[in-house]
């Protein structure tokens, strides 16, 4: 999920295809994770451009995620 948020945070045109390939997910995995992230308010979907972007809450999640990742190393 961190990878999905990272892709959507670093790009203004994060489409399903782009996220799927950059996060190394199958289509079914992608759909499941996108729904979850949107429900939790971590990801926003723009129906006009059909793109995703990471919300402020999602960016905060990424910061904590990266901090924990560094602690584990």
Does 24 have pLDDT greater than 90? yes
Task: List pLDDT tens digits, range 33-53.
Answer: 999 999 999 999 999 999 999
Does 12 have pLDDT greater than 80? no
User: How confident is residue 10, by pLDDT bands cut at 50, 70 and 90?
Assistant: confident
Q: Which of 64, 52, 68 is nearest to 7 (CA)?
A: 52
- In 3-state terms, what secondary structure has residue 1? coil
For every residue of 43-73, DSSP letters joined together read EEEETTTTEEEE-HHHHHHHHHHHHHHHHH-
CATH class of 2-72: mainly alpha
DSSP 8-state class, residue 3 = H
CA 37 to chain centre: 7
For every residue of 4-44, DSSP letters joined together read HHHHHHS-TTB-HHHHHHHTT--HHHHHHHHHHHHHTTSEE
């Amino acid at each position: 999920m961190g990878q999905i948020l990272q892709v959507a945070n670093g790009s203004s045109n994060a489409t399903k295809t782009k996220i799927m390939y950059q996060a190394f997910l199958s289509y079914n995995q992608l759909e499941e994770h996108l729904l979850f992230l949107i429900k939790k308010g971590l990801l926003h979907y723009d129906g006009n451009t059909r793109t995703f972007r990471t919300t402020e809450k999602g960016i905060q999640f990424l910061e904590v995620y990266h901090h924990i990742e560094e602690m584990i190393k």
